[in-house]
Amino acid sequence: MATIGLIGGMSWESTAVYYRLLNEGVRARSGGLHSADVLLHSVDFAPIAEMQAGGDWAAAGAALAASARRLQAGGASCLVLCTNTMHKVADRITEATNLPFLHLADVTARAVKAAGSKRPLLLATRFTMEQGFYRDRLKAFGVEALVPQAPERDEVHRIIYEELCRGRIEPASKARYLAIVERAVREEAADGVILGCTEIGLLIGQGVCAVPVFDTTALHVAAALDFTAELERAAA
């Protein structure tokens, strides 16, 4: 089997979901006792979060590039970065190895386009909502992502770092996220919602919103399974 290399730990709460979904996906596809062939390097999130807050993206990129090299040395066939925000330093990762890198914004954009959504609301960390590295990547696929209003962005960001990344799932925060989505649908004609932080799927999901929900964690996992299946077919 091809080996999926996971750069995780940012936070481990969502990395655990990646691991579960990968194994569930392999079992659904192959049956029996089959499970995913995975290498995981899970970093300590605290120093990475400090680098994010301090704007030291060069140091953060160097840390994840080192993680990528460890996974390549361990025999990974491709790289999956288990966080939307840290795709800001995706170039540092792709420069560090010659492994295929499954960019989460590309995976998400293709799913949004396939669903016919043109103006999805992007819920994510402040970095992902406000900086261009992610939204510009979506735009290259023709996806014009909306973002919440400034006070809403503050609340979305706070809930991610103070609650979801710490394993706290609060009903009041779920209600707040849903209210933000409902306002964007009503006032800005949002026609979808991108869960642009891998922890947000712990709080809301498909069926709780009036528009399609694009769970980036689930989309990334499906793309990784498709990619490694293609590698295996080519090697057969």
Amino acid at 90: A
Catalytic residue among 78, 82, 165, 197: 197
Q: Which two tokens stand for residue 42?
A: 């899970």
94 is catalytic: no
C-alpha atoms less than 13 angstroms from C-alpha of 158 in its C-beta half-sphere: 11
Structure-token match 């696929």, residue found: 141
In contact, 182 and 190? CB cutoff 8 Å: no
In contact, 71 and 42? CB cutoff 8 Å: no
Catalytic residue among 83, 97, 108, 216: 83
216 is catalytic: no
Whole-number Cα distances in Å, 59 to 92, 98, 164, 188: 10, 21, 24, 37
Triad 112, 115, 118: Cα angle to 5°: 55
89 DSSP assignment: G
84 DSSP assignment: S
Which residues does the annotation mark as catalytic? 83, 197
